[in-house]
Structures are given as C-alpha cells and as structure tokens.
Structure 1
Amino acid sequence: MNQISWIQHLAYLEQQGEECVLVTVLEDKGSVPRDAGTKMIVTRDELFATIGGGHLEHLATQMAREILIKGENKTHIERFNLGARLGQCCGGMATLSFEPIGFNQHHLVLFGAGHVAKALVNIVQTLPFKITWIDEREAEFPTQLAPNVHKLVSDDPVGEIKHMPANSYYLVMTHNHQLDFDLARAILTQDNASYFGMIGSLTKRKKFDLRLSHRGFSADIIDNMICPIGIGAVKGKHPAEIAVSVAGELIAHYQGQTLEQKRPIKQHGLVG
C-alpha cells in the first residue's frame, strides 16, 4: 500500500477512537524487505500496509499487539538481524520503532439516554473519551452520533457490564431506580472500574448505601460510588448545567485531581 493509504487508515482509526501501534522501519542495512520510512499499522485485529511480510512482519505484529494488550504508552525501538535472529534469507539489519497511538483516550460506559445523558454526550464526545451508550429504548437515542460514540440497545443493561474494558468510567443515568440499583451492584462488584458515578440526590444516596450494605458490600466498596455527581460549585437543574458539572468531574478525575466529597460521611463510611 502507498503512503497515502496508511495515513488514511490512521486518520480513520483516530476518528473511531481505536488504539493502534504505528510500526516504522527507521533504518535498513544490507538486504531488507522494505526501506527506511516504510510503515505498518497494527490494531488488535487487523493490519494496514506492510513492512515486507515474512518472519519480520510476523514478529513485529506480535510485539505491537503485546503493547496494545499491556496498554503501554511509550515508543519502543528494536533492532533485528534478519539472518541470525529471524532466519530470513535477505540477511540484512532492520531497526523498527513501535509507536502506540490513541492511548490517551478513556472509555465511558453511560447507562440511560434521557435529557441529561444527551446533554452530557454532546460535551464528552469532544473530550478524550470513547463512549458506549446503553439504553433499552432505541427511540431515545439521537439519529446522528459522533464516531467515538457507540449506541448499544440492550434488554439486559446489567449484563453488558462484564463485556466492558478494564478501567472504564461508568455513569448511571437511567429512568428506573431499581435498574440503577442493579447496575450499582454489578459495577461495584468489578474491581477495575476507574470511576463510577450515579445521578441522584443525597436521599437516593442514603437509601442505596443502606441497601448495598444489607447485601454485604463493605463501606470501602460502597464509597467507590460517587453520588451525587458533578462539581458542587456548578449549580442548576437544567440538563445542560448538570452535564457541564458532570463533565467537569470527569475531566478532574482523568487529570488526577482529588474529587470533592459532596455527602456527609460517618466514620464507618455510610451516610448518616
């Protein structure tokens, strides 16, 4: 494939929010399959372009996918002896760089497609997030969605949680309090959620804390649920105002800031 094609593929993957590794031949000595500057894009499932095929490309693909699996975010440089190390007849030397791309994105799982959720998606889709937007009601979703927003119509929203990537952000904004509670139980059972927030008042929070504790959840685990959500300084009940407040909290989280505590906590960790 020519240079334009790999550039187009890279732009497409970036638009889709899909992580990949850009493999580049930095240096070639002697007889090698491709010259310096040749590039190949590796995703978890596909290859775009080529660095010449054979054992070198096979090994480079394996190494790139290990980077994807580990979630590494730094460029690696490796030198390959095509004769001694790889048993290729060309016998030259090739130096490859492995550059991860797209690892600055976070994955948000949003439950509920009501007014606040719609307003929130309008903001979060412009931030470094890939969004999985889940609701049982297909008619509630907008007809047009940004490339980094994936609509998932599901009769079993709780069951979708086990399919979500590790370190996902979770936001629960459904129209059903019992579904909210069932989602909370399932999300808190995960040990790799990066953030879990639920829309609601302090009264709702108190009821959920007690119900969760009666079902065996410890105070430390329950405290992983943020409810109410949003930045306290941003007031208002309009969906756009709530959305701005919640988006601000998501930004603060991925920037590594300590989130404010918006509810009274007793020593045992439950609302009094």
Structure 2
Amino acid sequence: MSGLVEFLQADGTVVEVRITEVRGSSPREAGAFLLVCGARIWGTVGGGQLEYMALDEARKLARSDGSVAEMNVPLGPEIGQCCGGRVRLDLRILDAADKARLLAEEAARVAALPEVLILGAGHVGRALAYAFAPLPVRVTLIDSRAEELARAPKGIEQICTPLPEAKLRAAGAGAAYIVATHEHSLDFLLTQEALARGDAAYVGMIGSQTKRAKFESWAVGPTEALMCPMAAANKGDRRPEVIAAFVVAEVMTALAKSPAKETADE
C-alpha cells in the first residue's frame, strides 16, 4: 500500500493501463492494471510484448493532448506472444479523484488479504518476513525485542509487544500463525493459543520432532493441525532463507485451501 501512495504522490503525469476485457487465454485477468509515470511503473498487465506495447502507448498518451486511449491486442504470433487470446486495454490519465479511487481500492484489497502472523523476529522470522513481503498476504512480524524488529524488511507491519498472545487472539479467522520466538516456553504458549482458536489456516512451530513430542505432552487439546517441524520438504538445509522458502510454500498452500479463502472467493 505504501508503495502505491508514494508512486501517486510523486511528480509527473500518471497513466493507468487497465485490462477491461479478456477473450480466451491471457497473462492477466480483467481488472489488472499498470500505472505509468515516465520511466516509473507500478503493477503489471502480464509482462512480455503486451506490456511493452502498453508502456509505449501510455507514454504517448502522457505526451499528447488527450486523456484516454484504447488498445485491442491479439495475443498471438504477430506480437510474439503465444497466449492465443485477446485483451482490451483502457488507458487514461489520472486526476486527483482517480488517484483517491485507486488508493481506496488498494486499501480494500489489502484488507481482504489473508493474515500471516510471524511470532518472533529472529533470523528465521526475519527471513520469513522478506519471503512473504511480495506475496498477496498481510504479514505482521511480532516480537518483544525492538532491536530485532529493526532489522526486518521495511514495509512489513511490525508490532513490538511483551504480550504477543494478545495480537494472536485479535487476528481474524483463517489466519496463518508461524511461531519462531527466542524461547521454547513462549513457543509452546503461542502455539497452544493458535491451535485453541480452531479457525487457523496454518499453525507452525519452529523445532524438531523432539520439540513437537515435548509440546504434545504439555499441550491441552488436539495437536494434529500443528506443523512441526515446519518446512517438511526441506532435506536438512538450515539456512534461514531456505527454511523460509519451504515454510512460505506450506503456508500459501494452506491458505489456498482454507474455508476462509473459499468464502472470500464466492
């Protein structure tokens, strides 16, 4: 969201390129859009030759006396693409009202994204924050240590609190919880809280099979939903970035299957 705000607030004429009609196969769906302001761009209509053509037309429109334009593009060999469909693109120069509309749309889109709570901003937690940053989720990194949060990527929501369980309880239904704090006892407490909700799309706790066994002997209630060890497909690579990549794949798969996702899509 902050990236869009900065883009729209910068000087220069901004042209919106929006896919308004799709027939057959295309790299993006109707409604996808791209913003163009000189050499700067935000968003995408699918890349490839289609996007190069759209960028060229947007910059021509910005230099012209007009305010709107239209492109009807066959996605075939004639432009070097093999999708085989056809798309219509509407281009227009944005005024203040248009920019306000876009920001409202983006805020609503972000609010509807599934939540991912990373509980612990240590080396694995930070690697997870970096890995999730470009994905269509709302990520919150939570820790009691301000110095660790300060090392996390910019643009990710960060909460410094001595009571992370309160943030866990306040999350919406269908969220994903990744527990990777600096204390085993805190990991157990937060994992218990996440499982007890009964509405999580994913609950993962960092650790080994031994740690899981200790947790299961301590926990109250069912633990079958717990993913521990996380990154099950990882064959022993302990680099934080590699662990994060495998965990992100697990979480995104779980979110795609969750009842909350299915309800939102209806």
Q: TM-score, normalised by structure 1?
A: 0.55
Q: Deviations over 1:168-202 (max 9, x none)?
A: 11100000011011111211211221111111100
The match for 1:248 is 249
Which runs of 5 or more residues in structure 1 are unaligned?
Answer: 20-100, 258-272
Equivalent residue, structure 2, for 1:125: 133
| Distance in 1 (alpha carbons) for counterparts of 2:123 and 2:98 | 38
2:182 maps to 1:175: yes
Question: What corresponds to 1:8 in structure 2?
Answer: 99
Write the letter of the residue equivalent to 1:246: V
Q: Which has the higher helix share?
A: 2
C-alpha contact 2:126 2:151 (8 A) present in aligned 1:
no
Is contact 1:107–1:169 with CA below 8 Å preserved after alignment?
yes
Q: 2:162 maps to which residue?
A: 155
Alignment counterpart, residue 209 of structure 1, candidates 186, 211, 216: 216
- Structure 2 partner of 1:112: 120
Unaligned runs of 5+ in 2: 1-92, 259-266
**Larger deviation: 248-257 or 128-137?**
248-257
Alignment partners' CA distance in 2, 1:242 and 1:14: 34
- The alpha-carbon distance between structure 1 residues 172 and 10, as it changes in their structure 2 partners (threshold 3 A), is farther
The question of whether the paired residues in 2 share the 8 Å contact of 1:125 and 1:146 is answered with: no
The answer to whether the 8 A contact 1:234-1:245 is kept is: no
Query: Deviation per CA, 1:42-82, whole angstroms, max 9, x where unpaired?
Result: xxxxxxxxxxxxxxxxxxxxxxxxxxxxxxxxxxxxxxxxx
Structure of larger gyration radius: 1
- Partner of 1:167, secondary structure, is coil
Q: 1:230 to 1:14 in 2, by over 3 A?
A: farther
Cα pair 2:139 2:157 within 8 Å, conserved: yes
Q: Classify 1:165/1:151 alpha carbon distance in 2 versus 1 (closer, same or farther; 3 Å).
A: same
Secondary structure, aligned partner of 1:151: strand
CA RMSD of the aligned region, Å? Answer: 2.5
Q: Distance in 2 between matches of 1:224 and 1:254?
A: 14
Aligned residue pairs total: 166
* Partner Cα separation in structure 2 for residue 171 and residue 183 of structure 1: 9
Deviation at 1:240, TM superposition (A): 0.9
Which amino acid in the other structure matches residue 5 of structure 1? A
Task: Please say if residues 235 and 242 of structure 1, whose CA atoms lie closer than 8 Å, have aligned partners that are also in contact.
Answer: no
User: What's the offset of the Cα at 1:229?
Assistant: 0.7
Partner of 1:152, secondary structure, is strand
The change in CA–CA distance for 1:146 and 1:13 in structure 2 (over 3 A counts) is farther
**Counterpart position of 1:185:** 192
Q: 1:254 to 1:163 in 2, by over 3 A?
A: closer
* Separation (CA, whole Å) in 1 of partners of 2:151 and 2:127: 14
What is the distance in 1 between the residues matched to 2:190 and 2:119? 9
